[in-house]
Amino acid sequence: MTKGNNSHQEAAVNGQRTAEGPRPRRGFWFGLVVAIVKPFMLTWTKRDFRGVENVPRTGGMVFVTNHISHFDPFVVGMYIWECRRIPRLLGKASLFKLPIAGRIITSAGQIPVYRDSAEAADAFRAAVAAVEKGECVGVYPEGTITRDPDLWPMTGKTGAARIALMTGCPVIPIANWGAQEVFASYGSLRVRLLPRKTMRVLAGEPVDLSAFQGRPITNELLHEATEVIMQRVAGELGVLRGETPPKELYDPRKHKAVEDNREDGETR
């Protein structure tokens, strides 16, 4: 491969280049993941990476993204890597206790969430510490692949808002689209690599949380801040899709309550 082609592979499409400057130290296990995933992605997918200028090159930050497929962590992870940052994703603390996998994800710098903690703030103590050390922490606020029939984001959990308000760090909304064409969100387990699909990712400007800063961190405040964050993610996804996102995001709790009421009515 020529030098020109190598340079092209390091560039995002649509005339936008990836971030300049040296990459951070990645460690053995994260380096191994990059060595496996990046060639695979370059070979089997196409890229439309936009908004890389909105991702801070240094300093603690949180990025939030929509979840449409089991494949999208690879897409978003590669996008963050092309922004010259190392993504540190949140995961259940129990995963870090597994004999082999736990050692790998710990060594790769991923972050446990202690959901069994009596205090909600303690659940994210490792994430807060990572941000304060200058890490790039990734959160899937929905907590699972979206159940919205049209694959728009759902309402989010409050972890990202809590981390941001506890640390004062920027929150970068990131939307991704295309991963669902490789691996459907639900139903079929078939992986469709050909013809090559375009993985579209867009990072927006930091979410404005100034209205919530300096106030007591209550559940009500966190839910309000989270709604602002999720609306921004939905907005960026609307840009990628060329569509208008719904004004009210899909709330799985409300839909479950409706289904439960319907089932109760049918059994009477």
Name residues whose C-beta falls within 8 Å of residue 234's C-beta, 6 or more positions apart in sequence.
Answer: 66, 152, 153, 175, 245, 246, 249
d(CA 48, CA 256): 36
Residue 112, pLDDT score: 87
d(CA 118, CA 94): 16
Stretches where the chain sits below pLDDT 70 are 1-24, 118-120, 258-268
Say if 24 falls within a structural domain: no
Say if 18 falls within a structural domain: no
Residue pair 204/55 in contact by the 8 Å Cβ criterion: no
The full DSSP string for 13-31 is: STTPBPPPSPPPP--HHHH
Say if 201 falls within a structural domain: yes
- The full length of the chain comes to 268
Residue 6, pLDDT score: 40
Say if 37 falls within a structural domain: no
Residue 2, pLDDT score: 39
Strands 111-113 and 61-65: unpaired
d(CA 162, CA 165): 5
Residue pair 175/233 in contact by the 8 Å Cβ criterion: yes
- 202 SS3 class: strand
Quote the pTM value: 0.86
| Structural domains counted in the chain | 1
Say if 31 falls within a structural domain: no
Helix 219-241 to helix 159-167 angle (10° resolution) is: 110
Say if 188 falls within a structural domain: yes
Say if 61 falls within a structural domain: yes
Q: Which residue has the tokens 């736990």?
A: 102
- Give the CB-side neighbour count of residue 145, counting CA atoms within 13 A: 17
Strands 171-177 and 197-203: antiparallel
Largest Cα–Cα separation, the chain: 72
Say if 21 falls within a structural domain: no
d(CA 203, CA 49): 9
pLDDT tens digit sequence for 82-96 = 999 999 998 888 878
**DSSP label at residue 246:** P
Q: What is the CATH number of the domain that holds 92?
A: 3.40.1130
